[in-house]
Amino acid sequence: MKKKIGFIGLGIMGKPMARNLLKAGYELVVHDIMAAPVQELTAAGARAGTSPKDVAAQSEVIITMLPNSPEVKVVVLGVNGVIEGVKSGAIVVDMSSIAPLASQEISARLAEKGTLMLDAPVSGGEPKAIDGTLAIMVGGPEPAFNEVRDILEKMGASVTLVGGIGSGNVTKLANQMIVALNIAAVSEAMVLATKAGVDPEKVYQAIRGGLAGSTVLEAKMPKILAGDFKPGFRLELHIKDLGNVLDTAHNLGVPIPLTSQVMEIMQALKMDGKAKNDHSSIVQFYENLAKVEVRR
């Protein structure tokens, strides 16, 4: 028998993820501070919960997909939060990208109520959330992971338990460092090629099958060439992730000079009004300096 699922946070990622669970036949109770996505999903067969507490009271598995650590703490631990309605034996799966220490703190509080928690951040952006092919990196106890694995596999093509609670978010931070640096490298290279008078689309075609080829190159180069910076993953969210990277690295005594530089590039773009653009807009920082645009 399929578990009853609560889903809290129906934004650019959460809404399509919840929709995929509905398509898979799960009974779903949803909640968000915005009415429109709740109405969309109730029209598709979900029930609306009046609060995180209400969602938790009706669910065996509670999934949260929220912007950052403070929001997760409020939703799970705050007044009318998940912790006030959750049943003993339920599992909370936080799929937000938050600080690893925050995951551990929230998990410890839930454990006092007899509730297990997994941190299970995702990678792939809106397109992969829509088609259910996200990469999901999970931290927490293996028995809880085994209980919800089938649910996670309805939202992701890759679901991996990487360690104890918090390790999912450590893995996501590593992912976000690599993605940010990769986009910056693509941007530098393509601005150089364009300024040298070489067609950037032909450069892309020439290098994509070699060692420089990557998932990031395949996903972001077409957007750059089209000048399409509509968000698949907003720059402001990547800034949030890199903020968590920097905090974690500093706490651990790990120097991350390249990530720090990309963070400053992103901050400059944010100050230029591009915070809600796709993170591929990193190229615009380099284009502005070189006075050239990488376009087909």
Rg (CA), the chain: 20
> Of the candidates 3, 56, 49, which has an alpha carbon nearest to the alpha carbon of residue 25?
3
**DSSP reduced 3-state for 293:** coil
| Residue 172 is among the residues annotated as catalytic for this protein | yes
**Helix residue spans in the chain (DSSP H):** 14-23, 35-43, 52-57, 69-77, 82-85, 100-111, 125-131, 142-152, 167-195, 200-207, 215-226, 235-252, 257-271, 282-290
Q: Report how far residue 248's alpha carbon sits from residue 172's, in angstroms, rounded to the nearest whole number.
A: 12
Q: What are phi and psi of 163, to 5 degrees?
A: 160, -155
Say which of 53, 172, 220, 274 is annotated catalytic.
Answer: 172
Cα end-to-end span (Å), the chain: 52
Q: Report how far residue 170's alpha carbon sits from residue 259's, in angstroms, rounded to the nearest whole number.
A: 15
Phi-psi region of 69 (alpha: psi -120 to 50; beta: other; left: phi over 0): alpha
For residue 95, the one-letter residue type is M
Active-site amino acid positions? 172
